[in-house]
Amino acid sequence: ERWEEQERFRIEHEEEQFTEEDYDDIVALAYNLKHGHSRKALEDLAKMRGLSSPYVMKRKLDRLSNLVEEPYDCCIASCMAFTGPYKDLIKCKICEEPRYDNRGKPRNVFRYLPLIPRLQAFFTSDRIMDMLQYRQELGPYEGTMRDVFDSEHFRELLDTTIKVDGVEYPHKIGESEWDIFVGFTFDGVSLWRGLGSIKARASTTCWPSAVIIYSFNPTLRTRLEHV
Can you give the pLDDT at residue 179?
A: 93
Cα atoms found within 13 Å of the Cα of residue 37, Cβ hemisphere only: 17
Please state the domain extents for the chain.
2-65, 67-113, 115-227
- Give start and end residues of each alpha helix (H) in 122-216: 126-131, 134-138, 152-157
* Phi and psi angles of residue 130, each rounded to the nearest 5 degrees, phi first: -65, -40
Q: How confident is the model over 163-180, as a mean pLDDT?
A: 91
Model confidence at 197: pLDDT above 50: no
Consecutive H or E run containing 166: none
Cα atoms found within 13 Å of the Cα of residue 58, Cβ hemisphere only: 12
pLDDT (tens digit per residue) in 78-135: 899 999 999 999 999 999 999 999 999 999 998 888 888 889 888 888 999 999 999 9
Consecutive H or E run containing 58: helix 54-65
* Phi and psi angles of residue 117, each rounded to the nearest 5 degrees, phi first: -60, -30
pLDDT (tens digit per residue) in 49-65: 888 888 888 888 877 77
| 83, 94, 207, 30 alpha-carbon torsion, rounded to 10° | 60
